[in-house]
């Protein structure tokens, strides 16, 4: 069956994870989709997301599939960019203002909101520890987010991230200041950079 072969390829590409919305968007018949799930004894790991019994469930990738507009930010972005060695206890994402984060926040996910016009600024992709590409803010935008939210972060995490950032060869101070200007924190960011560099 064409549907079954296509579903197998989707699962292989996603390392054992099947996103039903993606399959349906690709034209897979609903009945064939649920037959495939049953035949292969896939486990439901989130609404519309199934995993094969032998797959390592990548919680960051599953969160990305569940909430397509979410961009990994703050502590999660630090981890994805190797700006910290501390794995956050809860993932951090940023969504557009107006998005209802109640369901995600109830699961312990840190949800930050930002104006729609600023949501995509600095968006890039990074690989999770399981090799899945997920949306994340670049290192310069991440530093701006940390400065903006410094009252909600552990001081050691904040300070360690700034120190790690200034040591990076791929940092872009011009980009950092451009972002800082967009978020109206240019003076604060400049002070931190002057102290650390």
pLDDT tens digits, 151-191: 888 889 999 999 999 999 999 999 999 999 999 999 999 99
Query: What's the chain's average pLDDT?
Result: 91
Q: If DSSP codes are grouped into helix, strand and coil, which group holds residue 91?
A: coil
- Please answer whether residues 142 and 164 qualify as being in contact, where contact means their C-beta atoms are separated by less than 8 angstroms: no
Tokens of 52: 């094969």
**Across 133-137, average pLDDT:** 97
Residue 2's pLDDT is 55
Q: What is the largest CA-CA distance in the chain?
A: 63
105 vs 97: CA distance, rounded Å: 15
- Parse the chain into domains and list their residue ranges: 2-57, 61-196
pTM of the entire predicted model: 0.86
Q: What percent of the chain has pLDDT over 90?
A: 58
């Amino acid at each position: 069956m064409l549907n079954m072969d296509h579903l197998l390829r989707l699962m292989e590409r996603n390392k054992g994870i099947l996103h039903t919305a993606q399959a349906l968007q690709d034209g897979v018949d609903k009945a064939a989709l649920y037959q495939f799930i049953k035949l292969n004894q896939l486990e439901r790991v989130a609404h519309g997301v199934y995993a094969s019994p032998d797959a390592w469930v990548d919680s960051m990738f599953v969160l990305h599939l569940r909430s397509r507009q979410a961009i990994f930010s703050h502590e999660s972005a630090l981890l994805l960019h190797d700006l910290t060695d501390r794995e956050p206890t809860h993932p951090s994402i940023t969504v557009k203002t107006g998005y209802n984060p109640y369901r995600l926040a109830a699961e312990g996910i840190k949800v930050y909101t930002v104006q729609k016009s600023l949501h995509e600024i600095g968006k890039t992709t990074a690989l999770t520890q399981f090799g899945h590409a997920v949306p994340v803010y670049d290192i310069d935008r991440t530093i701006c987010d940390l400065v903006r939210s410094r009252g909600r972060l552990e001081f050691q995490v904040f300070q360690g991230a700034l120190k790690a950032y200034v040591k990076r060869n791929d940092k872009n101070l011009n980009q950092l200041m451009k972002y800082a200007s967009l978020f109206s924190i240019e003076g604060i960011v400049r002070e931190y950079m002057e102290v650390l560099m």
